[in-house]
Amino acid sequence: MFKPHPSVSSAWVLSTSGDIEPPVVGVMGALHGNETGGLKAIERAMQEAEAFSGSLRAGTLILIHGNPRATEQGTRFSDGGCDINRLFGYGFVTDLAKAAWCYEHHRAFELQPLLGQLDALVDLHSASRPTQPFAVCDGTPEGIALARKTGCHVTHGWDGPGMLMDHVSIGSLVARGKPALSIECGQHDEAATAENAYRVMKRFLGAVGVTSHEVVTSDAPTYELFARVVKPTGEFQLNGDFSSFDRLEAGSVLGSGEGVTITVDREAFLLLPTPTAVRGEDIVYLARRR
């Protein structure tokens, strides 16, 4: 049965021996507090603890509620806080006085030893706009192959120049050559999102060999990122009610505002359009289909 992690709050451990023994595989949910589909998948796994115990082949499964305070508040990050999924590069440990840390800094610091212990990780997210479920992976053949086994669309290039892989939850595992995926499981409040998260979680655990859950082999579409677009002005708006995987032709206007207009110079598929982004935040990512 699952038991509380000995040193990390809001994390639970399942192993064949009762101890934390390798391989150690993590499932993260609600790293952004209002993205509760992954948390519901974790809670369902805990409710079905007997079945999960029976499926465990070896090693240890750790379920992690990423941002409990933000979930309590029903927000992406806590009141007065910041985006925890930009903190896992841990530059703040030396660059920011501890007195200035917000809740997310403290939570990321608490999670650091656990993330360093993991042999594999799936981080379950959802999006503010409608989206087909998709996996975020590194561009190695192994990373792409693992992402295909979730049955989701596959996106890579997040570890390219100017991207964010070094700062997100799976970054340290990718840097160590360990299997790690983030999954956008659907739109926040869609009923199907939690079910998608639960299905993806089981497929991932089966694919990395920690459980006997069914493994799929998918020919899902693959997309490679080529640009990250940061909102340049306060009034800048996307030029449409876009959803992930919407396609723009070369020369199309992506958005405009306050004298700034951005056009795409090649065919582009949109990922994670975020109309509510504020100046300096990511408003959309652009990808090519491979």
- pLDDT tens readout for residues 138-168: 999 999 999 999 999 999 999 998 899 999 9
**What is the mean pLDDT of the segment spanning 257-285?**
96
Q: Which residue has the tokens 């998918």?
A: 218
The β-bridge partners of 14 are 61
- The pLDDT assigned to 16 comes to 84
| 24-50 residue pLDDT tens | 999 999 999 999 999 999 999 999 999
DSSP helix/strand/coil, 243: coil
**Helix 37-47 vs helix 191-207: angle between axes, to the nearest 10 degrees?**
60
pLDDT band (50, 70, 90) for residue 77: very high
Averaged over 57-69, what is the pLDDT?
Answer: 97
Mean pLDDT for the chain overall: 96
Residues 174-218: pLDDT tens digits?
A: 999 999 999 999 999 898 999 999 999 999 999 999 999 999 888
The helix/strand/coil state of 142 is helix
Enumerate the domain spans of the chain: 3-207, 223-289
> Which element (helix H / strand E) includes 129?
none
Q: For the domain covering 223-289, report its CATH number.
A: 2.40.50
- Per-residue pLDDT at 17: 84
CA distances 36 to 115, 190, 224, Å, are 21, 11, 27
**pLDDT grade for 1, boundaries at 50, 70 and 90:** confident
The backbone region for 119, taken as left when phi is positive above 0, alpha when psi lies in -120 to 50, beta otherwise, is alpha
* 14-18, 132-136, 272-276: least confidently modelled range: 14-18
Q: Is the previous residue joined to 23 through a cis bond, with omega within 30 degrees of 0?
A: yes
What is the CATH T-level fold of the domain 3-207, as seen in this structure?
Aminopeptidase (3.40.630)
**Percent of the chain's residues with pLDDT above 70:** 100
